[in-house]
Amino acid sequence: MSIKIRCNDYGYECDHVLDEELTMGLIGKLRDHFEEEHGLDYTIEAVTQMITNRGHSLESIKK
């Protein structure tokens, strides 16, 4: 299942969009974006929690 993650969905004035399979790799890409573009050093666990808070289950995240 493909998921579209928009940075502005997480409260940032940013047009960055990731549109791909919901995997740990996608979470890593979002984490890297937050760090490189916004200077925020979130852990993988924090980004995973952000995604689950938006309605996606942990079980839907493919390894």
pLDDT value of position 50: 92
- Residue 24 within any structural domain of the chain: yes
Tell me the CA distances in angstroms from 54 to 36, 39, one per residue in order: 22, 22
- Residue 17 within any structural domain of the chain: yes
pLDDT value of position 7: 93
- Residue 60 within any structural domain of the chain: no
- Residue 38 within any structural domain of the chain: yes
Number of domains, the chain:
1
Q: Which of the residues in the chain have pLDDT under 70?
A: 1
Question: What does pTM read for this prediction?
Answer: 0.87
The range of the structural domain enclosing residue 33 comes to 2-55
SS3 23: strand
